[in-house]
Structure 1
Amino acid sequence: MQVTQTLSEGLKREFQVVLPAKDLEERLSTELANLKDKVRINGFRPGKVPVQHLRRVYGRSVMADVLQNIVNETNRKIVEENELKLALEPQVEFPEDKETIEAAMEARGELSYKVALEVLPKFEVADFAGLHVTRETAEVPESEIDEALERMAKQNRSFAPKGDDAAAADGDRVVIDFEGFIDGVAFEGGTGTDISVDIGSGTFIPGFEQQLVGAKAGEERTIEATFPENYGAAHLAGKAASFKVKVKEVQAPGESTIDDELATKFGMENLDALKAAIRGSIEGEYAAVGRRKLKRQLLDALDQQYAFDLPPSLLTQEFENIWRQVQSDLQQSGKSFADEGTTEEESRAEYEKIAARRVRLGLVLAEIGEQAKVQISDDELTQALVERARQFPGQEKMVWDFYRKNPQALAELRAPLFEEKVVDHILATATVTDKTVSKEELLDESDGESKPAAEASAEEPKKAKPKSRAKKAAPEAGSETPASE
């Protein structure tokens, strides 16, 4: 076997591999000889099948395995001997000439093929001590705890029938049956029976609840309302609908009291314990926002520190992933690039920059993590898998089995854990200044879209989002009722 490098240009490498017919024949004969003691063929005693007969029966399938093994071995050899770090799997290109392939499959002629590689760029990891970031924190105001208690008390208050002749008012609960129509045609999922509507709660699409004010038990009325433009069900978004409603009962709310009894409804010992739990929950939310903003600063700083060539295939792959999501978002919202105040060309240019940033930061964080020997333990991965499974009530086992049987999916689950550890490693050395700000300042993330940790390395740069950024659709129309927002 002869391996010759034919291209070294930027991050691209190409090698020409020549497999002499003699080598192919030797490998094929060895495999057939090994097969001799394993196969059972009528008319022959075990282990006595002539090799030539095996060749006639199994020759092509065995040679296919031989060639695959040779290709794999050669690729490993090329990578190891040239000390390469690959960006993607090697691309193998065989000759198009059928006669050449047939000759190789029968070991009558040599086989020459090309291996194309893209390697990762080499760069020096900068000193983290030069990084300066600010961690924002905020105190939880007592007013926010009081507001939370009021909401919880209101949500858990009891309702009692007002009477047959009582009219529904704002704050009342109305139990209804309804059927929805668009252009006079009933639409899928547009019906509901014994549905409770709390007037003024904002649970249903705009205009629906308000039109129940004044309704009485036994009354039938028609409600006209329009689904929001960003409604989760694309076939309903922005559509005007008519709902035939039958009012079955009107209920008035009872008193909403904030006391120890309310706390017990939430599994707490007393009101003080409930307040402490609320404070802890809000503090957790504040900490998560502060972490996101801190991390975004860090990624911005890293993005400014590094400039190197990016593997073209990785860049293309990342852009295509982003672009598919953009087009999907636009399709769901029923909008075009013009509706977003831009053009497709301008949007592509902006998202190409975002894709480059994501790839660059991903490579930087990966190199830092490798040098720091950052590892994700089996326990940490298992815990992450458990948390993911909990997001799908009733389907936990299916989700668990899916990830356990799909290494690529499991790797995607591992990636954000690895990234968070790398970020912590950098922050341990970087200069981090703590700053106490108001709640409003902390929660103001207008300089960048907040993202979950799983997307952190793909965060977009500040002010780099094009006007055509497709809005995320609202939750799918699969909540309590088809009319709920």
Structure 2
Amino acid sequence: MQITTNKIDSANAKINAAITRNTIDANIEKIANQLSKEAKIAGFRKGKVPVSAVKKQYGDRLVQDAEAQALRDLLDEGLKAMEIAASALIGEPQITKFDKNDNGIDVEVTLAIRPAIELGDYAAMVPEVAKPAISDEAVMQRIEELAGAQAPFVDVEEDRALISGDAAVIDFEGFVDGEAFEGGKAEGFSLRLGSGQFIPGFEDQVIGMKKGEEKTIDVTFPENYGGSKLAGKPAQFKVKVNAIQAKEAVSIDDELAKKMLPGFEDANLEMLKEKVKEQLESEEMSKIYNDELKPKLMETFVNAFTIDLPEFIVEQEMDMALNKKAREMAEAELEELRNDAEKVKALRETFRDDACRAVKATFIVDALARAENVAVSEQELMQTIYFEAMQMGQDPSAIYKHYQESGYLPAIQMAMIEDRVLSKLLNDKIKEA
């Protein structure tokens, strides 16, 4: 077997070989001899099967196995010649040529290799992060909101009009074209004003009404309203206010702190303020990280490092982008592309720059994660997918299976690693406000 190798750059290599007929025949003999000791063929005792019977029984399969062994051998020999570790390969080697002839097989194997990245002093590229200053007013406002959310509604005895945030206990009946419609009537219904629970415009017209007051409210059902008979239709609701309820006033004190911090025996208002301040800082930092710092830092790294990219991975990224674009196109546009291969080629090429940047970013994140000892296990990946699925009210196992079968898991895992490693780098540069 004659082998030539070509290490194009740190991320791409090719192995060309002429697998001779003698190599294939020798492999067939070797495999057939091994099978003769293990195979069960009618009329022969196990271990006593003649090689000729094995060849007759397994003819085509022997040839395929012999060719596969030759490919494995040439790959091992090629990697050794180029001093490339098998662990450095990305994905499966691509057989880009496999031409059989009378003398044997002409083969070309294309390899993608994890590119070498000299990170240097990457930490110096990470900007200092100013911890957000949270005011005492913001802390108290959040505590009041939390206290208000837990406070019960109580009847308002004073003679006043309904305001946003109140609960109006109402009777109502709806009419379309003068006719009452099914599901449009209720008595003693508690409506939180400002909640957006009812048809747009309904709650706004209840605001300002007083206890005992009756009123006809004019609204229009949204065009996308669930009941097709009512969608887009103007309607009138006869409404009567039976009672006005408001949130009971809650004292902001140590007792409230004890209720809101049940895990702390010595909870007091000062501790509650500290915990709420930490929560507000975390929320603010999360927003700054996700909206601003992480995208900018990733852009800095992509622009700073020059690396070789595995060609076939870039090509795969371009194919995915093209398929995504096709799913968004109108049928007429798709038909035009189907009839013009050059247009398809030109459209696909428009995704090359973005594909290169995406692939480059992936390898940079991988290198940074290894440098920072950051990893996401399969267990963590599964837990994250399950948790998000449950939050959306979906079947976690079905969602995970869908991602698995669609090949999305590696991308999700890499996104989690990117988020984690960038957070770690930024956290190391936090300075107090």
| TM tier, smaller | 0.5 to 0.7
In structure 2, relative to structure 1, the CA distance for the partners of 1:158 and 1:39 (3 Å cut) is same
- Within the candidate set 288, 305, 314, 2:286 is matched to 288
1:16 match: secondary structure: strand
What amino acid is the match of 1:172?
Answer: A
Q: Is 1:138 aligned to residue 132 of structure 2?
A: yes
Aligned length: 390
**Alignment check: 8 A CA contact 1:376 1:414 kept:** no
What are the Cα deviations for residues 130-152 of structure 1, in whole angstroms up to 9, with x where unaligned?
53613122122222223323333
C-alpha distance in structure 2 between counterparts of 1:81 and 1:54, whole Å = 36
Superposed, which structure 2 residues align to 1:55-74 within 5 Å? 55-74=55-74
C-alpha distance in structure 2 between counterparts of 1:367 and 1:296, whole Å = 18
Alignment-derived partner of residue 335 in structure 2: none
What are the Cα deviations for residues 171-214 of structure 1, in whole angstroms up to 9, with x where unaligned?
335789999x9xxxxxxxx9999997533124667546446667
C-alpha distance in structure 2 between counterparts of 1:263 and 1:80, whole Å = 68
2:110 match: secondary structure: strand
Alignment-derived partner of residue 302 in structure 2: 303
**Alignment check: 8 A CA contact 1:134 1:435 kept:** no
**Alignment check: 8 A CA contact 2:2 2:17 kept:** yes
Alignment-derived partner of residue 116 in structure 1: 110
What amino acid is the match of 2:192?
Answer: D
Superposed, which structure 2 residues align to 1:302-451 within 5 Å? 302-321=301-320, 353-370=353-370, 372=371, 374=373, 376=375, 382-383=379-380, 385-393=382-390, 398=397, 411-412=410-411, 414-416=413-415, 418-419=417-418, 423=422, 432=429, 434=431, 436=433
In structure 2, relative to structure 1, the CA distance for the partners of 1:125 and 1:391 (3 Å cut) is closer
In structure 2, relative to structure 1, the CA distance for the partners of 1:54 and 1:427 (3 Å cut) is same
2:64 match: secondary structure: helix
In structure 2, relative to structure 1, the CA distance for the partners of 1:433 and 1:277 (3 Å cut) is closer
TM-score w.r.t. length of structure 1: 0.60
Gaps of 5+ in 2: 177-182, 331-346
1:3 to partner: Cα distance: 1.6
In structure 2, relative to structure 1, the CA distance for the partners of 1:26 and 1:296 (3 Å cut) is same
Alignment-derived partner of residue 156 in structure 1: 150
In structure 2, relative to structure 1, the CA distance for the partners of 1:42 and 1:416 (3 Å cut) is same
C-alpha distance in structure 1 between counterparts of 2:51 and 2:241, whole Å = 87
**Alignment check: 8 A CA contact 2:196 2:203 kept:** yes
Report the identity percentage: 20
- Within the candidate set 218, 224, 231, 2:220 is matched to 224
Q: Is 1:255 aligned to residue 232 of structure 2?
A: no
Which has the larger share of helix? 2
Q: Is 1:277 aligned to residue 267 of structure 2?
A: no
Q: Is 1:92 aligned to residue 95 of structure 2?
A: yes
Deviating more after overlay: 208-217 vs 119-128: 208-217
In structure 2, relative to structure 1, the CA distance for the partners of 1:7 and 1:383 (3 Å cut) is closer
2:111 match: secondary structure: strand
What are the Cα deviations for residues 254-292 of structure 1, in whole angstroms up to 9, with x where unaligned?
333334676666563666254443222212212323444
In structure 2, relative to structure 1, the CA distance for the partners of 1:83 and 1:220 (3 Å cut) is farther
Alignment-derived partner of residue 440 in structure 1: none
1:116 match: secondary structure: strand
**Alignment check: 8 A CA contact 2:199 2:221 kept:** yes
1:33 to partner: Cα distance: 2.8
What amino acid is the match of 1:140?
Answer: I
What amino acid is the match of 2:93?
Answer: P
**Alignment check: 8 A CA contact 2:213 2:240 kept:** yes
Deviating more after overlay: 137-146 vs 297-306: 297-306
In structure 2, relative to structure 1, the CA distance for the partners of 1:130 and 1:68 (3 Å cut) is same
TM-score w.r.t. length of structure 2: 0.65
Gaps of 5+ in 1: 104-108, 182-189, 332-346, 437-485
**Alignment check: 8 A CA contact 2:318 2:351 kept:** yes
Q: Is 1:201 aligned to residue 195 of structure 2?
A: yes
Structure with the larger RCO, 1 or 2 (CA within 8 Å, 6+ apart) = 1
In structure 2, relative to structure 1, the CA distance for the partners of 1:327 and 1:243 (3 Å cut) is farther
What amino acid is the match of 1:254?
Answer: A
C-alpha distance in structure 2 between counterparts of 1:217 and 1:36, whole Å = 98
1:133 match: secondary structure: coil
What are the Cα deviations for residues 190-244 of structure 1, in whole angstroms up to 9, with x where unaligned?
999999753312466754644666799999988425479xxxx9x99xxx74598
**Alignment check: 8 A CA contact 1:206 1:227 kept:** no
C-alpha distance in structure 1 between counterparts of 2:301 and 2:115, whole Å = 16
What amino acid is the match of 1:280?
Answer: E
Answer with 1 or 2: which has the greater Rg: 2
**Alignment check: 8 A CA contact 1:156 1:256 kept:** no
What are the Cα deviations for residues 43-74 of structure 1, in whole angstroms up to 9, with x where unaligned?
33323333323222222234333433433443
Q: Is 1:172 aligned to residue 167 of structure 2?
A: yes
RMSD (Å) for aligned C-alpha atoms: 5.4
